[in-house]
A and B are shown apart, each in its own frame.
Chain A
Amino acid sequence: MKKVFSRPRTLKDVPFHYCSGCGHSITHRLIAEVIDELGIADRTIGIPPAGCAVIAYNYFDIDMLEAPHGRGCAVATGMKRVLPDRIIFSYQGDGDLAAIGTAETFHAANRGENITVLFINNAVYGMTGGQMAPTTLLGQTSTTTPPGRTAVLDGHPVHFSEVLATLAGAVYVERCAVNSPANIARAKRAIRKAFQYQMQDRGFSLVEILSQCPTNWKMRPTDACRWVDEVMTKEFPLGVIKDLQAKG
């Protein structure tokens, strides 16, 4: 019988610890598939964050260096500058990247560091139990916004990908989702493009992934997938935010 589907070689044969319906496991798989297809597993180093994906090194069969909370882009900068021919990617959540790591991410993008960032936006702090994230929607309840996020008290949802896209050093920024087969396929194409740009020494590339968190959203996984479409993408529209490919 012909084998038509299997585990990517870059994913270890270890069950994910992620909750049912979580977007992390899908995104991990997409990254692993892209690494396999580009044939770069031998020279790729991943930087996992503090957060739900902190033990990503249990799943990826590549070298990995855990970063302190929010510092993924600084750690990746140090590695890439020492090893310019290696492929370095940082994997970060919304709190990690757009709150505590705002400065590190912004300035790595502005320097045009030739790294790739996977930005997992689930509008909540997942690992710590569902507190307000910088990307939490207005009106969305969390353990630290029990009546719902208000602009007056809590500020607005941060559109950090759009901010980064204003920087000259950022060459490719796209927002995707992993809540449907079509969106997953688009997300994989975006991740591949981001890695390819790095392989071509183009500069800073980032793929934002709207990622469902059924546990902290207190929804069934199917409802969470629907919520991404019906609510989350209204605040965070999918699509290419910046792509300098045309300019070569």
Chain B
Amino acid sequence: MQGNRVIGEAAIRAGCRFYAGYPITPQNELTEYMAEHMRKVKGGVFIQAESELAAINMVLGASAAGARAMTSSSSPGISLKQEGISSLAADELPAVIVNIMRGGPGLGNILPSQGDYFQATRGGGHGDYRTIVLAPASVQELADLTMDAFDLADRYRNPVLLLADGMMGQMMEPVEFRAPSPRQYREEYILRGKGTGKSRFIRALILDAIRMEEHNWKLYRKYQVIAEEEVRFETFWTDDAEILIVAYGTAARIAKGAIKRSREMGIAVGLIRPITLWPFPGEVIRRFAEEVGSFLVFEMNTGQMLEDVKLALEGRARVDFYGRPGGVIPTPAELAKVIAYQVKR
């Protein structure tokens, strides 16, 4: 099944009942899947919005009304959604936002890229906030992490980004959908009309500086809990490694191919694959630096996660970088050459 469609199916199985989106390549199959299948489920709403701005703000309204809500786009469209993502974070509303990244900046192209790492992991919009960022590296993981994204969004009442690229969205692999876990959330934030109770409101505007500061610290404390509880990563062939690659998503798949080739040539190389890009598995990388003196960060950009790896290592080990931005998909053979060169140095 194709990656984009898998995200749609996983979302519906996870109980997503509101989707608003706007056409943009390379994620259109997801919007189209939702258009076809959301109508078939009870209470399911699909809206083709007039813009990315409208789509994310529809999601805001649907989320406040209690629905599991999602929108999706690709890089330029995600830039437009940042207003709403910032508002969702401020309002502490759950939502899932899918970014099937393409080459940038600007309109760029429609080829796979990882150029939006900074935007995704640093909040993305204005203000002092974070979003949980999940980076799948297989179609199976697209299914699993889409379901997890809804659970995490509910658990922390925070927007969650599924950050993949055009390669992940377009590729076809076998997939098994697991049974979704029952939705767990506290009813109290949802607005359904006051009924017989007291009226409530959700707002992001807090004019008083001290109260705004309190809200910022409250969000900060939540992010601290997320950072402690939700870090995810995979290690691959790390046991005897003398050099470790750090890569995520499509780049991590390429890295695995390169590692197999390098191992055949007798090079002891392994992989750390962050699955959550925020919170970032910096502690894990730092621990590896006790055994390994050389790290190679590999991204489909000019070096963004590189900064997080350097921050994690704080000079404890050598860090090199290899990247191909702009929609170029490097081959495992190409990366294996880079690894071999790295070892000789």
Contacts and interface: CB of A to CB of B under 8 A. Distances in A.
B149 interface: no
Contact of A68 (B57, B199, B200): B57
B47 A81 contact: yes
A45 interface: yes
B132 interface: no
B343 interface: no
B195 A81 contact: no
Given A71-B54, A103-B54, A78 B199 contact: no
Interface string B190-214: 0111111001111111000000000
A78 B194 contact: no
Given A65-B202, A78-B18, A107-B50, A86 B64 contact: no
B193 A74 contact: no
B57 A78 contact: yes
A28 to B, nearest CB: 14
Given A44-B193, A82-B18, A103-B50, A64 B201 contact: yes
B58 interface: yes
Interface in A22-77: 41-45, 47-48, 50, 54-55, 57, 60-68, 71, 74-77
Contacts of B194: 41-42, 61-63
Interface stretch (B65-73, B311-319, B327-335): B65-73
B104 to A, nearest CB: 23
A55 B87 contact: no
Interface string B114-135: 0000000000000000000000
A79 B200 contact: no
A64 to B, nearest CB: 4
B204 A74 contact: no
Interface residues of A, number: 38
A83 interface: yes
B94 to A, nearest CB: 13
A57 B54 contact: no
B62 A57 contact: no
Q: How large is the interface on B (under 10, 10 to 19, 20 to 34, 35 or more residues)?
A: 35 or more
Dominant SS among interface residues on chain A:
mixed
B192 A78 contact: no
B32 interface: no
A68 B84 contact: yes
B87 A68 contact: yes
A81 B203 contact: no
Dominant SS among interface residues on chain B:
mixed
Interface string B1-45: 000000000000000011010000000000000000000000101
Contact of A79 (B17, B64, B87, B205): B64
B60 interface: yes
Nearest to B198: A61
B59 interface: yes
B51 interface: yes
B83 interface: yes
Contact of B83 (A66, A68, A83, A103): A68
B201 A82 contact: no
B86 to A, nearest CB: 8
A229 interface: no
Nearest to A58: B201
Contacts of B257: none
Contacts of B91: 66
Contacts of A54: 203, 205
Contacts of A76: 61
Given A82-B18, A82-B67, A74 B191 contact: no
A104 interface: yes
Contacts of A75: 57-58, 60-61, 64
A64 B192 CA distance: 10
A63 B199 CA distance: 5
Interface in A149-208: none
Contact of B58 (A48, A78, A86, A106): A78
Contacts of B204: 66, 68
Given A64-B201, A66-B205, A81 B18 contact: yes
B17 A78 contact: no
B53 interface: yes
A74 B53 CA distance: 9
Contacts of A62: 193-194, 199
B201 A65 contact: yes
Nearest to A107: B50
A3 B123 CA distance: 55
A55 B193 contact: no
Interface string B285-301: 00000000000000000
Contacts of A104: 50-51, 53-54, 57
A135 to B, nearest CB: 22
Contacts of A47: 61
17 contacts: A42-B195, A43-B195, A44-B193, A48-B203, A61-B199, A62-B194, A63-B194, A63-B199, A66-B202, A66-B205, A71-B83, A78-B63, A78-B69, A81-B58, A104-B51, A104-B53, A104-B57
Interface of B: 17-18, 20, 43, 45, 47, 49-51, 53-55, 57-67, 69, 83-84, 87, 91, 191-196, 199-205
Closest 4 CB pairs of A and B: A78-B61, A57-B201, A74-B57, A78-B58
Given A66-B202, A67-B61, A82-B18, 7 more contacts: A55-B205, A57-B203, A62-B194, A63-B193, A65-B60, A66-B201, A74-B53
